[in-house]
């Protein structure tokens, strides 16, 4: 409704003018015209009719003001909910553990890749576990799967854990190191992450990216 009013301002102004000035003018003209027969003779005065019409306008004005107040409250509620959501998201982000994964070495052709995972947030991560560790070929076909999961009691702020895989030598460019990680934050809420690192070239270390899973 309010969107329609915004897009039809001129029409609204014309209608408002007719309601405020047009109807009283019509009443005035009708009372100046002589009735053709007794049926059309008014049994009330022009003043009484104008007073009645004024009461109707006052009622309509009250209703419109009430609707505007409800609409304004609705807009305020939407804005308040949006701000609350932003504050809750900021609170969540400030209390959520964040990590980076950095390769630290390997043997020839990236055999036995070594890397570390560091907690770069100010928040403690508990019950840290790395699992579903594998190396994928460029076509996402599984090349190697680890039979070992890594578990840690906790990972404090700026603390890191070091992992050494037992993977075989890579056989070309574009191989992907893939693993999942989970932990519990200080509110006992569990978080899960996907960690992937692509070796663009066989003689380069993978560049790791950590994405939180929903």
**Domain covering 99-213, topology:** Immunoglobulin-like (2.60.40)
* pTM, entire model: 0.60
- Residue 136 CA to residue 132 CA, distance in Å, equals 12
Task: Indicate the domain borders of the chain.
Answer: 2-95, 99-213
Query: Is the distance from CB of 212 to CB of 192 less than 8 angstroms?
Result: yes
Backbone Cα Rg of the chain: 37
The 10 Å CB-count burial string (b at 16+, else e) for 180-194 is: bbebbbeeeeebebe
**What ranges make up the beta strands (E) of the chain?**
99-105, 114-119, 125-136, 142-145, 150-155, 160-164, 175-184, 190-199, 207-213
pLDDT in tens, 125-174: 999 999 999 999 999 999 999 999 999 999 999 999 999 999 999 999 99
pLDDT in tens, 25-69: 676 676 666 666 665 666 666 677 677 777 887 887 788 788 888
């Amino acid at each position: 409704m309010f969107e329609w009013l915004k897009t039809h301002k001129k029409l609204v102004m014309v209608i408002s003018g007719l309601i405020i000035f047009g109807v009283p003018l019509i009443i005035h003209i009708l009372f100046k015209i002589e009735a053709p027969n007794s049926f059309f003779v008014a049994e009330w005065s022009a003043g009484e009719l104008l007073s009645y019409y004024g009461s109707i306008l006052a009622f309509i004005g009250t209703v419109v003001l009430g609707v505007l107040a409800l609409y304004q409250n609705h807009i305020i509620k939407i804005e308040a909910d949006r701000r609350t959501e932003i504050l809750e998201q900021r609170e969540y982000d400030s209390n959520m553990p964040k990590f980076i994964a950095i390769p630290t070495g390997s043997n020839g052709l990236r055999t036995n890749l070594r890397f570390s995972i560091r907690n770069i947030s100010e928040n403690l991560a508990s019950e840290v576990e790395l699992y579903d560790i594998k190396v994928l070929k460029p076509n996402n076909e599984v090349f190697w799967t680890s039979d070992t999961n890594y578990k840690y009691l906790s990972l404090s702020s700026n603390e890191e854990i070091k992992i050494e895989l037992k993977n075989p030598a890579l056989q070309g460019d574009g191989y992907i190191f893939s693993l999942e990680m989970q932990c519990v934050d200080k509110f006992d809420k569990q978080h899960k992450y996907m960690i992937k690192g692509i070796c663009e070239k066989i003689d380069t270390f993978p560049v790791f990216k950590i994405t939180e899973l929903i």
